[in-house]
Amino acid sequence: MDILNINHLRKSFGDLEVIKDISITVKEGEVLSIIGPSGSGKSTVLRCATMLETMDGGDLVYLGEYAAKDENGVSVYADKANLQKAKSNFGLVFQNFNLFPHYSVLKNVMDAPVRVQKRSVEEAEKTARELLEQMGLADKADAYPHQLSGGQQQRVSIARALAMQPKILFFDEPTSALDPELTGEILKVIKELASQDMTMVIVTHEMSFARDVSDKIIFMDNGVIVEEGTPEEVFASENQRMKEFLRRFNG
């Protein structure tokens, strides 16, 4: 079953066309990594998928339901209620965590389930504590974000996203703001989620990680998909731009 379909996405900022006709399908349980040089538009794809940016053209479909539908080359968004419903399908983990600094770790994780999804406080707290346990942060429930390391903050933000029980989880360069020695702990968490068949889309610069964890990899450059396929296929690609990109990464 398809969790996410993006069809013929186009997006410009002013005169600059950053995404030129991109289509992506993510099936249930699949892990898709999007790689590519800076400015290739990969984060913009994620921001369009999570509706932080509005698409200029193309469809955005979650579980068969249209959040945006292309009508004569223009994306027309669904009404507020349907958008809210579409939004409940996904979670997003930011590069800079974006935890709420005035909320404790526990409240960061359980507040949205209570206020947005109207779950009971008891149930939300139970789920939140389980997730923090899973993230190895059970003892940090009462701490505030500024008291945690970057890696710990990112794990809290993953727990916060998971607490909403999303069908699909997006990661926007989840390790880019972390010290090198802290990236490992985040990558480990994502691998664990993959082994639990969590559907995920990951924008990343961690090539070897993308290769290990992904079912499918998309290589983007200049707003188009240059190469896509299994990690084996993409990393063995004969495409000139792809090879050049990989060469720079492998030093």
Partner 1 sequence: MSFGTMFLQMGAGMGKSLLIFALTLLFSMPLGMIVAFGRMSKNKIIQTAVKFYISVMRGTPLMLQLLVIFYGPYYLFGMNIGSRFAAVIVGFSLNYAAYFAEIYRSGIQSIPVGQYEAANVLGYSKTQTFMLIILPQVIKRILPAVTNEIITLVKDTSLAFAIAYQEMFTIGKQIAASQTSFLPFVIAGVFYYVMNLMVAFAMDKAEEKLSYYR
Region near partner 1 per CB under 8 A, out of 44-52, 64-72, 119-127, 238-246: 44-52
**Residue from 153, 139, 141 nearest 106 by CA:** 141
Say whether residue 155 binds partner 1 (CB under 8 A).
Answer: no
Alpha helices (H) in 50-179, listed in sequence order: 80-87, 105-115, 121-134, 150-162
Q: Contact with partner 1 (CB under 8 A): which of 12, 23, 54, 117?
A: 117
Say whether residue 209 binds partner 1 (CB under 8 A).
Answer: no
Say whether residue 92 binds partner 1 (CB under 8 A).
Answer: yes
Of 66 and 144, CB closest to partner 1:
144
CB of 92 to partner 1, least distance (A): 5
- Token output for 169: 């989880």
Q: State the DSSP code for 137.
A: -
Region near partner 1 per CB under 8 A, out of 13-21, 81-89, 195-203, 212-220: 81-89
Tally Cβ neighbours within 10 Å of residue 248: 9
Q: How many CA atoms does the CB half-sphere of 70 hold within 13 Å? A: 18
Residue type, 204: T
Q: Which residues bind partner 1 (CB under 8 A)?
A: 50-52, 84, 87-88, 90-92, 94, 96, 98-102, 111-112, 115-117, 144-146, 160, 164
